[in-house]
Chain A
Amino acid sequence: MTPPAKAIEALQITKNYGKIQALKGVSFTVETGSVFSILGPNGAGKTTLLKILTTISNPDTGKAFIEGFNILTQTLEVRQRIGIVSQDNHFDRYLSIWHNLTLHAQMHGLPKKEYEHRITALLKQVDLYDRRFSLADDLSGGMQRRVSLIRALIHNPRVLFLDEPTTGLDPQARAEIWEMIENLKQTATIILTTHYMEEADRLSDRILLLNQGQGVGIGTPRELKLALTPSNKYELALGVPKAKDYATVLQQVINPLTDVPVFEEIIPLNDFTLEFQTAKPENLKEVLRHIDPSDLIRLGKLEANLEDVFLSITKRSNAQERAS
Chain B
Amino acid sequence: MLNFKQGIFPLYQKVLRQESQSWIAETLTTLAVPLSFFLAFGLGLRGYISNVNGVPYLVFLAPGLISLTIMLEAYRTGAWGLWLDRWYQKMINEYRIKPITTSDIIIGEILGGFTVALFKGAIVTLVLLILAPVSVHWKYLGPYLFYMFPGSILFTCIGTMVGTMFRKPDQIAQIQTIVITPLLYLGGLFFPIQAFPASILPIITWLPTTALFDGGREALLSGHLTIQYSLILWLSAGLSFWAATLLFNRKLSE
Contacts and interface: CB of A to CB of B under 8 A. Distances in A.
Contact of B94 (A77, A86, A106): A86
Nearest to A77: B99
Interface in A176-218: none
Contacts of A106: 6, 9-10, 13
B91 interface: yes
Given A95-B14, A95-B17, A107 B93 contact: no
Contacts of A99: 14, 17
Interface string A70-88: 0000001101101010101
8 contacts: A55-B97, A79-B98, A79-B99, A103-B13, A104-B94, A106-B9, A107-B7, A108-B6
Interface of B: 5-7, 9-11, 13-14, 17-18, 21-22, 85, 89-91, 93-100, 253
B93 A86 contact: yes
A92 interface: yes
Given A76-B99, A108-B6, A109-B5, A90 B94 contact: yes
A93 interface: yes
Nearest to A78: B99
A139 interface: no
A92 B19 CA distance: 12
Among the interface residues A80, A108, A109, which one has the most CB atoms of the partner chain B within 10 A? Answer: A109
Nearest to A58: B253
Given A91-B89, A93-B89, A109-B5, A82 B97 contact: yes
Nearest to B94: A90
B99 A108 contact: yes
B26 to A, nearest CB: 11
Contacts of B93: 56, 86, 90
Given A103-B10, A106-B10, A108-B6, A94 B21 contact: yes
A48 interface: no
Contacts of A91: 89, 91
A104 B98 contact: yes
A106 B94 CA distance: 13
A107 B6 contact: yes
Contacts of A109: 5-6, 99
Given A90-B94, A109-B5, A109-B6, A103 B99 contact: no
3 tightest A-B CB contacts, nearest first: A106-B10, A107-B98, A79-B99
A86 B89 CA distance: 12
A53 to B, nearest CB: 10
A108 B139 CA distance: 43
Given A56-B96, A106-B9, 14 more contacts: A55-B97, A58-B253, A79-B99, A86-B93, A90-B93, A91-B91, A94-B18, A95-B18, A95-B21, A107-B98, A108-B6, A108-B99, A109-B6, A151-B94
A54 B96 CA distance: 9
A310 to B, nearest CB: 28
